[in-house]
Structure 1
Amino acid sequence: MRQYDDPVEVRRGEADDPDQFLWRGRLWKVRAVVAHWMEAGPWRQGGPEAGRPGSGADLVAGRELWRVEAGRGMLGGRQPSDPQAVAVFDLSFDWTDGRWQLVGCLD
């Protein structure tokens, strides 16, 4: 899988999973969610006091990831004339800043 760190615009579907995303000027339609998982952020933020119970240290949220199969365009790559129109992507949503990133692609 190729690694990326590209910002993407994501539109979520009814199940709150990614439904469509815009990457490098191309629209991709999610055909299937292959996997979904969470990655924890740092356990604590702050100085040496952060690890002590009752210190009021803020927990930092991690990121949520989806591995999706997606096709290009509104039809989701269902055009028989374009075999390169479908790929598998890893999309991440960072809870700390509210941004989506495309972090991997297997085409």
Structure 2
Amino acid sequence: MRRYADPVEVRQGPLDDDARGLGAQGASEGPQQFLWHGRLWKVRAVLAHWVETGPWWHSAGAQAARGADGGATDERTARVPVPLGDLLAERELWRVEAGRGRTTPEGEPDGGGVFDLSFDWTDGRWTLVGCTD
């Protein structure tokens, strides 16, 4: 899978039984379409859905708690609270199968691929983070 960090516009809505697939059994809504590089992609199926936290272990508070700050941990830094933003940053990921919405003369879907779409709860933005087409 190729990695990207491209902003995308996503239209969300109710997932029908076909689009829900095995990957989003607990989700009633999800991405239905997305616009990437000026092309509209229609979600055919949700293959997986999960939530990731931010790298809180890189925060100054976490490093001080485990003594990985170069030995500078003392009583003053040990009492510094870890900002909640470091601990609560989450992004929701959707692995979807999507196509351009056209069909071949034989009635088969035209092209398509598997895409990883990420929704960042801290800034409310969608990003395409991976693609196999």
Q: Is the 8 A contact 1:61 1:96 kept in 2?
A: yes
Q: Is the 8 A contact 1:60 1:96 kept in 2?
A: no
Q: Is the 8 A contact 1:40 1:62 kept in 2?
A: yes
Aligned-pair Cα RMSD in Å? 2.2
Q: Is the 8 A contact 2:99 2:109 kept in 1?
A: no
Q: Is the 8 A contact 2:9 2:36 kept in 1?
A: yes
1:90 paired to 2:116: yes
**Structure whose residues are more often strand by fraction:** 1
Structure 1 match to 2:39: 26
Once the two structures are TM-superposed, the CA of residue 43 in structure 1 deviates from its matched residue by 3.9
**Unaligned stretches of 5+ in structure 1?**
52-56
Shift in alpha-carbon separation, 1:46–1:34, aligned structure 2, 3 A: same
Question: Taking structure 2 as the reference length, what is the TM-score of the superposition?
Answer: 0.65
> For each residue in 1:19-76, what CA deviation from the matched residue of structure 2 results, as whole angstroms up to 9, or x when unmatched?
000000000000000000010124487764124xxxxx4243210000000001xxx3
Structure 2 match to 1:8: 8
Q: Following the alignment from structure 1 to structure 2, what is the Cα–Cα distance between the partners of residues 38 and 70?
A: 20
Report the count of equivalent residues: 98
- Bigger radius of gyration among the two: 2
**Structure whose residues are more often helix by fraction:** 2
Once the two structures are TM-superposed, the CA of residue 83 in structure 1 deviates from its matched residue by 7.2
**Unaligned stretches of 5+ in structure 2?**
15-27, 62-76
Once the two structures are TM-superposed, the CA of residue 85 in structure 1 deviates from its matched residue by 2.2
The SS at the match of 2:131 is strand
The SS at the match of 1:97 is coil
Q: Following the alignment from structure 1 to structure 2, what is the Cα–Cα distance between the partners of residues 83 and 71?
A: 7
Q: Following the alignment from structure 2 to structure 1, what is the Cα–Cα distance between the partners of residues 9 and 52?
A: 20
Task: Determine what percentage of the aligned residue pairs are the same residue.
Answer: 65
Question: Taking structure 1 as the reference length, what is the TM-score of the superposition?
Answer: 0.79
Q: Is the 8 A contact 1:20 1:28 kept in 2?
A: yes
